[in-house]
Amino acid sequence: GESVGLHLPTLSVQEGDNSIINCAYSNSASDYFIWYKQESGKGPQFIIDIRSNMDKRQGQRVTVLLNKTVKHLSLQIAATQPGDSAVYFCAENIGGAQKLVFGQGTRLTINP
Amino acid sequence: EPEVTQTPSHQVTQMGQEVILRCVPISNHLYFYWYRQILGQKVEFLVSFYNNEISEKSEIFDDQFSVERPDGSNFTLKIRSTKLEDSAMYFCASSALVTNYGYTFGSGTRLTVV
């Protein structure tokens, strides 16, 4: 399959452990953020989103934290599974604009 | 679960040739987008489309690129005269009435220009 991100930051965790992926966003006017998962040769898959009027949002096994003061976003994945191995991107959007601006991505590898 | 469908999955073309990449967005979505991802790099915005016209475009989206919604279901990206550096994965996306709500990507078309 296609290798995405030859020089991406990488994170390796043991299966069953929790993982935290971090993202620094660029624009203080951004008010909507999305985390995407991208498996080899596939398109970005929505994981979870958060609006700027929130600090935390939880999904199934995933939590997104937003710190607007330092323009930092994190994705926590609990009880990681082999299927969580992928590249994870954060994306930001400024209200009224059409586009998403993607971060560089982090390659997460789950070790058995 | 509704999905965005892209065809073909892989296209190989000669430099200088025209290519058309096709997308079927989610049926009740009104905003449509094209993004690209050069191998090893991040996903980059190309263009957004709403109400039958381009609403925003990036610097990448020059005169060689065009988009069209020829009927009620398809959304196409045309590259008039392909260059080697156009080789990338091209992703179509769509979102619902409220901008960015339900922003969903297709699986992409891998374009290889030789």
Spatial contact of B10 and B73, defined as CB atoms under 8 Å apart: no
Q: Confidence band (pLDDT; 50, 70, 90) for A44?
A: very high
Q: Kindly report which listed range (A29-33, A95-99, B40-44, B84-88) carries the lowest average pLDDT score.
A: A95-99
- Residue B72 has a pLDDT of 80
Whether B40 sits inside 8 A of A6 (CB atoms) is yes
Q: Confidence band (pLDDT; 50, 70, 90) for A97?
A: confident
- Residue A5 has a pLDDT of 36
Classify burial at B98, counting beta carbons within 10 Å of its beta carbon; exposed 0-12, middle 13-18, buried 19 or more: exposed
Q: Confidence band (pLDDT; 50, 70, 90) for B97?
A: low
- Residue B99 has a pLDDT of 55
Number of H helices, E strands in chain A: 0, 10
Q: Kindly report which listed range (A31-45, B48-62, B95-109) carries the lowest average pLDDT score.
A: B95-109
Residues on chain A bordering chain B, Cβ-to-Cβ distance under 8 angstroms: 2-7, 32, 34, 36, 41-46, 89, 91, 93, 96-105
